[in-house]
Structure 1
Amino acid sequence: MPDTLLSRSMNDTLDPPLLPLPDRVAQLLSELGCPPRLAAHLRAVHDVAHQLVDWVEQRSPAVVFDREAVLFGAATHDVGKTVHLDELSGPGSAHEEAGRALLIGHGISPELARFAATHASWVDARIGLEDLLVSLADKIWKNKRVPDLEDLVVARLVRATGRATWEEFLALDEVLARIGDKADERLAFQASFPIHVST
């Protein structure tokens, strides 16, 4: 039963349609005994990140960023909650560094593992567009708007495209509103899976 729930949370065809987690991530989450609700959350954020990177690529093909890193980061950003289970249903940041260390310990490069630690710390000047997109996906999946984070994304897009700030702001606002409109369905999907599965 537990394996079935975890597998369903990562792969099942469902409504709303969400992309399945990448095989590499699904295998890792299975090895870690990931709670099904956490896997469902990672899947929802991964799906939103996919929409964001598609939007950036279609609207601004000259913007240089690592698409696959964003998708991997979104799919694994909260992996540290497999260690800090209390943070699945309550506040806390211990999962951030724990997640980075856990990923590195499982052979993931520090370059990809960093998202587990950076997804909640977008104010650091060294943070790249990839990190900002993972952070943004982790907010907008539930339609949470964070103006400071969105302003940073807009600034990066302005720098890369040369477009006016207002133009980038309006375009980002439009796509975030569209993605946010499906938040209730994603939240219901996540809530349909238990935090703990009795064995």
Structure 2
Amino acid sequence: MTAELPHRAMTDSGGLALRPLPTGAALLLEQLAAPPRLVAHLRAVHDVACQLTDWVQQHYPDVTFDRDAVLFGAATHDIGKVVHPNELSGPGSAHEQAGYELLLDRGVEENLARFARTHASWTTAGVGVEDLLVSLADKVWKAKRVADLEQLVTERLTAASGQQPWEAFLALDDVVDRIAADADLRLAFQASYPIAVGS
């Protein structure tokens, strides 16, 4: 039964109708025998990224970004925790560079691998809209609000739409609140899977 856990984490709806991971990301996680809890976490963050990108495309169609890249990034941003499993249950950032290198070693293009490295460093020069959306999804899934991250997203929305900053902020705040309302369900879904198979 424990051997089924990683696969079940990829297919279980979690009572939230979580969307399936992109095929390429799911295959990588299977090949790497990713811990069930990591798979569940990536499913939750990916689903939030789907909601955020749908919202941006509907309400801010002039914001140019690669939706598929965002979704792949959300689905693999913590893949380095396969190499650093201690960071599944405790703090640490070693998984960021490790995940980036792991993805490159597996043949993933740099423009997709980068999210493993950038998801926690949204203030770095050259960070794009895609990186910001992955970072935002990685916070909102658990209802964590990060003012400077949300400000950067607001600035991108304002620049593309011509809205006043306060208008874009209120719109973003509204969608983030709506998505964050399901945080307890996502946290319970993640917690229902063990950190390692057999634990």
CA shift at 1:80, angstroms?
A: 0.1
Deviations along 1:139-185, whole A, 9 cap, x unmatched? 00000000000000000111111110000000000000000000000
* Equivalent in the alignment of 2:181: 181
* Equivalent in the alignment of 2:147: 147
CA shift at 1:22, angstroms?
A: 1.7
* Equivalent in the alignment of 1:10: 10
Superposition TM-score, scaled by structure 1 size: 0.98
8 Å Cα contact 2:46-2:75 kept in structure 1: yes
CA shift at 1:13, angstroms?
A: 3.2
- The count of corresponding residues between Structure 1 and Structure 2 is 199
8 Å Cα contact 2:10-2:43 kept in structure 1: yes
* Equivalent in the alignment of 2:20: 20
8 Å Cα contact 2:3-2:197 kept in structure 1: no
Q: For residue 170 of structure 2, what is the amino acid of its counterpart?
A: L
Any runs of at least 4 consecutive aligned residues in structure 1 with deviations exceeding 6 A, and if so which? none
* Equivalent in the alignment of 1:99: 99
Identity among equivalent positions (%) equals: 63
Within a 5 Å distance, the mapping from 1:43-82 to structure 2 comes to 43-82=43-82
Q: Distance in 2 between matches of 1:11 and 1:79?
A: 18
* Equivalent in the alignment of 1:35: 35
SS in 2 for 1:18: coil
Unmatched 5+ stretches in structure 2? none
Q: Distance in 1 between matches of 2:14 and 2:135?
A: 25
Instruction: Pick which of 17-26 and 48-57 moved more.
Output: 17-26
Q: Distance in 1 between matches of 2:106 and 2:62?
A: 34
Deviations along 1:5-26, whole A, 9 cap, x unmatched? 1111111233021111122111
8 Å Cα contact 1:80-1:102 kept in structure 2: yes
